[in-house]
Structure 1
């Protein structure tokens, strides 16, 4: 990794005995040691497990926190000084690793060392694959003599996911065996690896433009860029690329690009699939909140099922780390006058309301500066409602929005830019809906009662207009809390734009009711969502915390499409893809057809095709095994391209499979799609194993809006089902988007 001279990394290579903390009684000392690959950490286990269960990968780390900054260490780490403690938080569903080092300096070595390793991984180009291949080379060298027999070479090939024909593998082996002694060592091993890592598909592209001299001049590179569809490509830009990516100093001085420099460019972030400009905040952030899709979570406090799973403040921290901007708090009466959060009437564990608000204060704006919405489901009496209001005021302080902004247009919501660093409360104002017993109904209960009425099972509800719901006005401080997000019922939107929109009203709908409105009120629902916020949440019948397809709701302009972030699947892949752009800030500007109050757009009738999307699937590199516990298992990969958009655009096409090769499979197949509403389309690239038994059992995937796909020859970094990077696994494609 180029960090072996770093003292922190060298200390990690030697290893440390760290105390792993799970509870007040379960605190065990374990040996943790960085592997020689610089990519993984081995740790000791009392009970022998499969080798893969004794390591974790640096690329799967989401954050490293110092001190008592996790729920586990705050509760169970009191016996250890904060300076000796650290928490390793992982992407996906893996639990935090809470650790205490023998000394503060040793804890700091791990904090600093992991930060350096993560930064180095982020900076690695795809040409830095020698680190990856040398890791497997070291493992395949069974007697560690730095020499490779043909048997060991075959073992290496299986490790890197390729089942090469014995005759071909042996001929390649013999070509590199210059000493003719049936061993590869030193330069012979490097030559074998160079041949293994050869990228003929990239060489073909290079030779097409470089001519007989096998180097690209500046005009030839410019021609390639123009053919790629690069907007504003100039000779100056071509010269800048040569000076950035060319490795040969002589070629660089003569403004020439060799094959190595060309590959460096193609496999750099500039040669990646997303538009580089879209990885930062690039959209107009000064429009009303209702003009944005807003990343939203449902039952945010849960880490597993809705019946008996644990609740945790860490779930909020993870949601914020994924760019979430709207989180849900189900508030119930707790002991000692302190409200708690959990999934009511179930066996899920309880956490304190005030602890969640502290997590919001500490973590809500780590990734994104744009506003956070707290969607409160209030089941508390007046006394504990007052405690909730007190905690919101005292913990959040000036972060909490308690009055209208001076510069606000009364007919529209403020913008994300105006609300940077602020927290909004979504809840009820006067009059509050009540059930027959007089208890205030939460948004979700109210929506369910509406559905009961639709089925003929609802009874009359009493409404007490004279008694204040606390979110309209705090019982203690008399300061309003639900300033911009007043919860209100939505039955059927008006068929035309309202003369006086109510921008501060927010409707919460179950997925069933939202689908009914989409089906029955189409364009009217879109016009409603052009002015006001709508939150959609999963049906209560989804006991295993499964998700619905969010694309249907986005097609109709719903902003707060809430999903169970703890549940991986294609639905969360789509959500991650939708919010991958615009700096992953959690706000994405809706297409113009969903922002206009008088729009005529209807997702059910989007009109004739306007765009042709063509993708040529070329190759993949270094795909992981589906079953790492079976050393002889080899992937038979195929690529599936999914189009998610309005119903008329939704489609799926796939390539043939390449048998027994996950290392460098080649397809060269072209897939084409006709699109009617391209501005709403998400493209999901999925690499599957032909023998997989489940759609969720894929090798890797990547999802991105069509509008952010960069045309031309592009590489795509694949992600796991938990959203973690599978680097160096990549897909190489050619993309063409033609608009009529």
Structure 2
């Protein structure tokens, strides 16, 4: 570009490459000629405006507009109300008028209560027309239920920035997790020279002072969410340094730290997130023996499993009274099986490795669900995941496990699911479990959903119409044009797991169009997550990730919607989006089907 305010055809071609679109020469030349009213071979001012308008035209949106416009030129309030009705949302006159007022830029149309194609496009691209229900962007669920009735956003080895062996331990990792709405953070505490430190024991990960982590927690604990933050302490310290930990917790956290029961119902039910707002609960995952009593090459996760599987470790462990006095509602105990006759106090909770949890779900799914209606369960990754990979959290949510701890530092599909699970309810880190997972006598079994509680057959139909302004995958491919394709995936109980994908569109990341329709038969829709993922097709290597968005099925809206895509780290990548149509109707039962399908 020579910055003279005019565009030659060559500069137009450069522009196309900058905005990630590869138009064929014939179309590009015709569009240029159409907009070059002066015929001088260069576009200027109004001609550039016309060119951009033509380039940004959305034929698929124009088709929807024409479908509802009585005169083909504008939408009257009557037309707009009919559209809103079909969308399944507020179709009152007042709402239609407010949309015209907010999105119509043409003064004449706004004054006469009409919506032009441009105003309609503005509205359709807005957050107000997002596939995600904006009402779920606030805390809308009942927060007065017992703590164990909620899924709780939880982090594993929160202090780590990368892998489990040599990466840096940092307070920044706690800040990032808390800003994402995490409500259970982990602190692996070891003896320092004078004061306790946090790091991944028996590894080369760096150490961060315990007191610095507590200071950060005090500052950031309630900036994103007002609901209780659970501190998962893995204690490897001597009694003296445990006492220092207790003193630092009390002095820095002050009255934010819960030290006494809130009421006299301690032995009946756990308190609710509502009554414990702005409080920190100390959760003891374990107390370990001194290093000479354990293997030097075991990870903290392995130690955690061993400590809970060997009650003797608890008996032999010396615990500072000052530290133990801080445990009120979350007393960690070794899991000894499902015994309906044993009336355990609700403040007893257990931790499970991912493999142990999966085994329980497979062999005793219904009993595990019942256990989780009364007690808290925390799941942690296998010690074999040294690169900080994650397991599928959906399997654990299917059994009602509340604290499904993941490596927040890792950008992966599993963290996409976690962000999707905790997207609703104001991203406060607490999401109410379905009612059939909160009844002590629940008959729900995640491994068998041919009928019974939670079984509500639903047909989800999604038409992937188009995408807009997709990014290029990385700096190394800035000169390439993407060949996008879209995956649509459902995650839930095994029978509801499904994956489908569109064909690829060659050389168009600007406005690719698919018009592919997929049907998903859901059996337990209240547990389902829906994930949209866009990739750049590559013949020689693995496809490149371009963006994704995951949300609960119960937070989806029907009709014509835009899906605003997220980067791998969960941040928005505006203006990239998908344009889809969603339809939800009663489904049918298929009890013999035992697993999801893969469709291409």
Match of 1:574 among 417, 422, 438: 417
Matched, 1:218 2:61: no
Rounded to whole Å, the distance in 1 between the matches of 2:543 and 2:105 is 41
Rounded to whole Å, the distance in 2 between the matches of 1:303 and 1:331 is 17
Matched, 1:199 2:46: no
Task: Report the equivalent of 1:626.
Answer: 473
Match of 2:518 among 659, 671, 695: 671
**3-state SS, counterpart of residue 330 of structure 1:** strand
**Matching of residues 41-80 of structure 1 within 5 Å:** none
Report the CA distance between 1:490 and its aligned residue: 1.0
Task: Report the equivalent of 1:77.
Answer: none
- The answer to whether the Cα contact below 8 Å between 1:614 and 1:670 also exists between their aligned partners in 2 is yes
Q: Deviations over 1:20-73 (max 9, x none)?
A: xxxxxxxxxxxxxxxxxxxxxxxxxxxxxxxxxxxxxxxxxxxxxxxxxxxxxx
Alpha-carbon spacing, 1:286–1:694, altered in 2? closer, same or farther (3 Å):
farther
Alpha-carbon spacing, 1:564–1:657, altered in 2? closer, same or farther (3 Å):
same
Alpha-carbon spacing, 1:193–1:213, altered in 2? closer, same or farther (3 Å):
closer
Q: Deviations over 1:225-257 (max 9, x none)?
A: 111122x53223222222222222332333222
Match of 1:654 among 501, 519, 536: 501
Alpha-carbon spacing, 1:438–1:302, altered in 2? closer, same or farther (3 Å):
closer
Task: Report the equivalent of 2:369.
Answer: 526
**Matching of residues 196-595 of structure 1 within 5 Å:** 196-230=55-89, 232-336=90-194, 338-406=195-263, 408=265, 410-427=267-284, 444=301, 447-449=304-306, 461=312, 464=315, 469-470=319-320, 473-474=321-322, 480-494=325-339, 496=340, 500-595=343-438
Report the CA distance between 1:697 and its aligned residue: 2.7
- The answer to whether the Cα contact below 8 Å between 1:623 and 1:662 also exists between their aligned partners in 2 is yes
**3-state SS, counterpart of residue 544 of structure 2:** coil
Rounded to whole Å, the distance in 2 between the matches of 1:436 and 1:543 is 20
Task: Report the equivalent of 1:9.
Answer: none
- The answer to whether the Cα contact below 8 Å between 1:376 and 1:427 also exists between their aligned partners in 2 is yes
- The answer to whether the Cα contact below 8 Å between 1:294 and 1:560 also exists between their aligned partners in 2 is yes
Task: Report the equivalent of 2:593.
Answer: none
Task: Report the equivalent of 2:27.
Answer: 168
Rounded to whole Å, the distance in 2 between the matches of 1:428 and 1:636 is 48
Task: Report the equivalent of 1:133.
Answer: none
Match of 2:557 among 706, 710, 727: 710
Alpha-carbon spacing, 1:443–1:165, altered in 2? closer, same or farther (3 Å):
closer
Rounded to whole Å, the distance in 1 between the matches of 2:44 and 2:359 is 68
Match of 1:724 among 557, 567, 571: 571
Task: Report the equivalent of 1:152.
Answer: 11
- The answer to whether the Cα contact below 8 Å between 1:378 and 1:442 also exists between their aligned partners in 2 is no
Rounded to whole Å, the distance in 1 between the matches of 2:262 and 2:506 is 62
| TM-score, L = length of structure 2 | 0.92
- The answer to whether the Cα contact below 8 Å between 2:200 and 2:300 also exists between their aligned partners in 1 is no
Structure 2, unaligned runs of 5 or more: 588-600
Rounded to whole Å, the distance in 1 between the matches of 2:178 and 2:228 is 12
Report the CA distance between 1:492 and its aligned residue: 2.1
CA RMSD of aligned residues (A): 2.3
Q: How many residues align?
A: 581
Q: Deviations over 1:568-626 (max 9, x none)?
A: 11001101111111111111111112111111111110126700000011111000111
Alpha-carbon spacing, 1:593–1:443, altered in 2? closer, same or farther (3 Å):
farther
Report the CA distance between 1:427 and its aligned residue: 0.9
Task: Report the equivalent of 1:177.
Answer: 36
Q: Deviations over 1:2-28 (max 9, x none)?
A: xxxxxxxxxxxxxxxxxxxxxxxxxxx
- The answer to whether the Cα contact below 8 Å between 2:464 and 2:514 also exists between their aligned partners in 1 is yes
Structure 1, unaligned runs of 5 or more: 1-140
Alpha-carbon spacing, 1:579–1:692, altered in 2? closer, same or farther (3 Å):
farther
Rounded to whole Å, the distance in 2 between the matches of 1:545 and 1:346 is 14
Rounded to whole Å, the distance in 2 between the matches of 1:621 and 1:436 is 56
Matched, 1:645 2:465: no
Deviates more, 1:585-594 or 1:239-248: 239-248
- The answer to whether the Cα contact below 8 Å between 1:301 and 1:329 also exists between their aligned partners in 2 is yes
Rounded to whole Å, the distance in 1 between the matches of 2:277 and 2:19 is 46
**3-state SS, counterpart of residue 476 of structure 2:** coil
Q: Deviations over 1:81-126 (max 9, x none)?
A: xxxxxxxxxxxxxxxxxxxxxxxxxxxxxxxxxxxxxxxxxxxxxx
**3-state SS, counterpart of residue 222 of structure 2:** coil
| TM-score, L = length of structure 1 | 0.75
Alpha-carbon spacing, 1:390–1:447, altered in 2? closer, same or farther (3 Å):
closer
Rounded to whole Å, the distance in 2 between the matches of 1:718 and 1:241 is 24
Report the CA distance between 1:447 and its aligned residue: 4.9
